[in-house]
Chain A
Amino acid sequence: MQRTPLHPVHRAAGARLVDFAGWEMPLHYGSQTEEHHAVRRDAGMFDTSHMLAIDLEGAGTRAFLRRALANDVARLNSPGKALYSCVLREDGGVLDDLIVYFLREDLFRVVVNAATAEKDLAWLAGLPACPARRPRRDLAMIAVQGPDARAKTWQALPGLKEASELLGVFFGAQAGEIFVARTGYTGEDGFELLVPAAQAVETWQRLAGAGVRPCGLGARDTLRLEAGMNLYGQDMDESVTPLESGLGWTVALEGDRDFVGKAALRARPPARKLVGLVMTGRGGVLRGHQKVRTALGDGEITSGGYSPTLERSIALARVPIGAAPGTSAQVEIRDKWHAVRIVKPPFVRHGKPLHPDL
């Protein structure tokens, strides 16, 4: 199994380690629920070094990415600006989701999922006119998230303050050897730091010293689920389109720009969509692959779990396109059908429940 530069720190902290896409990663450091609350209420940090940053370099990079990505990097006008996008197959299936940063006109950085990194590199290389690609395995990644995340980051790493104090949401900037981005996967404010691997341990320990709580993949999953953010491989994959995955807002279909998958998305209006479910009674926990019954037909849960913030079970589910938020549906748990309410994700944003009437 592969290990990140922070692996010895996780082991020393007594983390429960698990295999995630071939990487030995911390699931939790004792209490997944307390880690979740730390991010909602204060500040937590995640080792996300298993994800891969790839620098794309050369004069034709913007033109290439306009064709390779479903979202349009023409939207990236100021240096440092970031954009979320899917990478699609010709048939519209989702190969991966990523964040792309515009650093210079001849330098863009994409950050892709761990499990798909090699597939993505091969895919990009196979497209016409692919610019030079530089996988940045020399960088570790630490996501610092929560209402106090930025203040505690500056306390731990004062050298980052000047470059990141005025950083807008979804912008990144280089601060010495560290790349700081105001992005994340939790629905809270915070930073994602790309740090030279040799400095990863010291950076982590400084953050811990400033009161940032180490958090594992367990909390990362419940936080992103509450924030209504998709997980590649669960909520979408090559068999579905972004329009069937709650990601229509990330697909720039208008205009003349051609991109891989565009024709297929145009030709194939979605029959299904991704919605949120909230369990209204008791009966168990919503989990991936459970069957969903709506007034308009059947569907399936793609991600589910117990929400520590809402203290009830929530899920993302793929259902017939007409299934409306505010209506009820049923989910099968252990051969019994239980009532759920269909909602529009997210469930929680900046620490606050968004569907308090339920």
Chain B
Amino acid sequence: MKHPDHLRYTRTHEWVRAEQDGTLTVGITHHAQDALGEMVYVELPEVGRKLAAEEPCAVIESVKAASDVYAPAAGEVMAVNDAVVKSPGDLNQDPYAAWLYRMKPEAGFDAGKLLEAAAYEKGVA
């Protein structure tokens, strides 16, 4: 399962999981980690930071290059995954366990508007 069906995706290669409490958990896709190669550095936003939709809010760096991670929606950062900062290689091992940050989207955001797995895969094929 390179891009699991129960998640949603962006064209900028984030996966998004809509949680029961209304927050969104965000990470990078299998395709993104594969294209970038082994990760060596992760920088995450401050908890409480207000994000605009599609704003660059985190940075991942691989042996090859640096890459921005974008916000899938406008909202506020609720939590970040410090474990992945300490161990960036987790993004290669299991990009869906190694989430980056959790955010509370502004009212009215509809996660259903994000890409489904099949549509995302079509875009990266």
Binding site for B on A (CB under 8 A): 27-28, 31-33, 218, 222, 282-285, 287, 305-306, 313, 334
Q: Return chain B residues, CB-CB under 8 Å to A284.
A: 41, 43, 59, 61, 66
Known: A32-B63, A284-B61, A285-B61. 12 other contacts (CB 8 A): A27-B37, A32-B37, A32-B38, A33-B38, A218-B37, A218-B64, A283-B43, A285-B66, A287-B65, A287-B66, A306-B40, A306-B63
Smallest CB separation, A148 vs chain B (Å)? 24
The chain B residue with its CB closest to the CB of A312 is B40
Q: Return chain B residues, CB-CB under 8 Å to A33.
A: 38, 63
Q: A31-B38, A33-B38 in contact; A305/B43 too (CB < 8 A)?
A: no
Point out which of B43, B63, B64, B65 has the most chain A C-beta atoms below 10 A from its C-beta: B63
Q: Return chain A residues, CB-CB under 8 Å to B59.
A: 284, 334
Smallest CB separation, A88 vs chain B (Å)? 32
Point out which of A28, A287, A305, A306 has the most chain B C-beta atoms below 10 A from its C-beta: A306
The chain A residue with its CB closest to the CB of B39 is A306
Beta-carbon contacts under 8 Å, B33-87 to A: 37-38, 40-41, 43, 59, 61, 63-66
Instruction: Decide: B66 and A28 in contact? CB cutoff 8 A.
Output: no
Q: How far is the CA of A32 from the CA of B64 in the complex (A)?
A: 10
Q: Return chain A residues, CB-CB under 8 Å to B66.
A: 284-285, 287, 334
Q: A32-B37, A33-B38, A285-B41 in contact; A222/B63 too (CB < 8 A)?
A: yes
Q: Return chain A residues, CB-CB under 8 Å to B37.
A: 27-28, 32, 218
Smallest CB separation, A35 vs chain B (Å)? 10
Q: How far is the CA of A283 from the CA of B43 in the complex (A)?
A: 8
Q: Return chain B residues, CB-CB under 8 Å to A27.
A: 37
Q: Return chain B residues, CB-CB under 8 Å to A31.
A: 38
